[in-house]
Every structure is written in C-alpha cells, then in structure tokens.
Amino acid sequence: MSRKMFALVSMLTIIAMILGACQRAPAEDKLEIFSWWTTGGEAAGLNAMYEIYKKDHANTEIVNATVAGGAGSNAQAVLASRMQGGDPPDSFQVHMGHELIDTWVVADKMENLDDLYQSEGWVNLFPKGVLDIVSFEGHYYSVPANIHRANVMWYNTATFQQLGIAAAPKTFDEWFAMAETCKAAGLPALALGDSGPWTSVHLFETVLIGTLGAEGYKGLWTGATAWSDPMVTTALETMDRMLDYVNSDHAALSWDQANQLVIDGKACTTIMGDWVDADNLAKKFAASGWAPAPGNEGIYDALSDSFGLPKGAKHSDQAKDWLRLVGSKAGQEAFNPVKGSICARTDCDPNLFGPYLQSAMEDWKTDTVVPSLAHGAAAKSGWVQTITDAINRFVTERDVASTQSGLATACVDAGVCK
C-alpha cells in the first residue's frame, strides 16, 4: 500500500472512530431535580411528573436529589451550600415569594424565565396574584407547580362522633370547648409535631390570622399592623392556652406523625396545610374531616412550591423542558391531585381532584388570600428565622410579654417597622 493510500485509510479510520464515539457516547443527558419531597403524596406527585417527562425524554437520566425534612428546613441548608459553592442542581424546589426573591434572585443566582412565560402562554394561565409573586423588577424567575393552603384544621370524623362533637369548631371559644371534651376523654385536642421548628410557626400564623383577620395579619408584613398591638398579645395568649391541650411528645414528632395521631383516634385535631390530604389519601384514611382553622373562615393562607433555573446549571436545556412540564396542564393535573394541592393554573379539570381539593378550588376563587409566614411567602428569610426562633422559645417558656417584645424588635431589624 502506498504512503498516500495508507494516510488516506488512516484518516478515514480516525474519522469513523470519532463518528462512532459520538454515536455511542452522546453528550451527557441528565436532569438533576432538588427537592424535599420524600414522603407520601408529595413523593408520589413528583414521581408522576417524572413519568411524564420520561415519555418525551427517554434517554435522559433523572437524578432525584431529595433531602428529607418538612417545609425544606434541611434541604435549604444543603441547597445554600451547593449554590454558594458553584454546584447548583439543574432545578430546585423553592417557595415562591420572599424565599425565592430575597434568597436567590436578589443574589443574582437565577436565570429569568421570561421566554418560557411568553412561549407557554403562562401570563394568561396563572392568576395575576401568582404572577406578581414569582416576578421581580418585571421579570419572571420561577414556575409555580401548585397552590397550597396552610390554615386547615383536620379531624377524625369517627372520633368526633364518638365524643359527641357535632361540628368542627369555627371560633376559638368553640375550639376550647371542644378541647375540654377531648381532654375529658383522655385525648389531646391538638396533635402537634414540632421536631421541625417550622411547625410551631405554622400554628402561630393561623392563630394570628384568626385573631387579627386578613387585613390585620397582612399588615404585620408591611408595618401597617404593629407587633406591639394588643391583638398580637391576644394571639399569643390564645396559642399559650392551646398548648395546654397538645400531645406531651410533640417535640419528638414530625407533622405527619402528629397527623397519624388523628388518624389513629389518639388526638382530636391537627392544624396543618393541605398536604395532610395527600398523607391521608396515601394512608387510605377515609374518615378525614376538615375545616378552616379557628377564626380563619373566608381566608386562604397561601403558599406555592415552584421551580426555577439556577445560573450555571449543567443541563439547562433539560431543565427548561422540566419547567415547561411543571407549568403545563398535564403536569399540574398529574402532580396536584396526589400532592394534596390545587393547580396554580386556572384551567385544570376539578373532576380529577378529590372532595377536599375541590372545596379548596372553590375557596381559592372567593376567599381573601394572605401569604404564609412559615412557608416563605410573607417575609424575607432572615426575618422568618428570627420569628421561628422566638416562637420555638415561646412553646418551651410560654412567656407572652417577652415573646411579643422580641417579635416587635424583629420587625424593626427587618426594616419594616420603625
């Protein structure tokens, strides 16, 4: 073989090897999703969206990066470490509102999603209130997967019937009357699981709402309502009384373990978000009853899980396809009925949802909406942490005056109150 012929054959061989390698080893096709959805309906809902994604992306490996811990208390610490270390996931779960904007958008860690909002028509499919919360300085930064309601009182209808409790209490006076009936039967009136510090804050925000009303509660986050107001004192005194009726092992339990006490007939009520509905469905609990928390009728304490696109994501194209799914009708209809939440979109089919979620959809249309404190919608994260510390001390020490003073100082430190 001549040298020229040998060189030509060698070159063709090298080209064939390169082409073969490209066919055998395509560019890395992965999608890493970071969340704290590890239990019951939340995990089932996430997996339902994964299954839809895989149908159109059969060659994409989904990395389900989850960190257990209610409300993301553990996950957010891990996420912060990764984001600050330059190793962001491709997309991550974040509560829309201050948790998203103050933590990641202001720090210039997120890509804006204006192109997706336009191409997918979301500006016409998400309510204006939702669009306002996911945007900052005129740009959109996350895609809401759902709407949750935080201020729900859950109970076991069989337990109520056995104790002769005719109806769910609507006011605090009615609740304390019910609590005495439960106590006489040897049952905690309120199942609390505050091994995660957010759950006590969650309870506190529903008491604030039930005491101050929608406008008074919203004013706490703008400075229109003073934290030194006598109504805040009343709210703390009411929560102090409620703590007399909780299970003695509350500090050792999680929110879902507290709910299990209600399921098992070992407690009368629990006050928690509507992810309890998903927990009840996953556990095939058929005797679930629900009502607004005391004093909360006509008020929708809202939060939303959303997903965004971090700057520096390794698989941004796959992440954008994921975000398209999260915001789609098919994605939200697959996710929300099992997650225990309603769609952020306005065009979902209510017939796909169970009785509780259908009732929540109707309330969402008419109730006054207020932002959740414990779940990142009402206040920036540093302020929420200070409140969380104060309320967890309160649960232990039960000092109304000292707690209220600390809450008033926290509002000043947050730059909202003078």
Q: Give burial (CB, 10 Å; 0-12/13-18/19+) of 84.
A: exposed
Q: Give burial (CB, 10 Å; 0-12/13-18/19+) of 1.
A: exposed
The model's pLDDT over 58-81, given as tens digits with 9 standing for 90+, comes to: 999 999 999 987 667 788 889 999
Question: Residue 74: what pLDDT?
Answer: 84
Closest CA to 193 of 273, 133, 251: 251
The model's pLDDT over 296-313, given as tens digits with 9 standing for 90+, comes to: 999 999 999 999 999 999
Give the bridge partners for 35, in sequence order. 66
DSSP designation for 271: E
Question: Residue 340: what pLDDT?
Answer: 85
Question: Residue 71: what pLDDT?
Answer: 63
Residues of the chain with pLDDT under 50: 1-27
**pTM recorded for the entire structure:** 0.83
User: How high is the mean pLDDT of the chain?
Assistant: 91
Question: Residue 5: what pLDDT?
Answer: 44
Question: Residue 32: what pLDDT?
Answer: 98
- What is the residue whose two structure tokens read 């996710």? 335
> Where do the domains of the chain lie, and which CATH numbers do they carry?
30-147+304-366 (3.40.190.10), 149-302+373-413 (3.40.190.10)
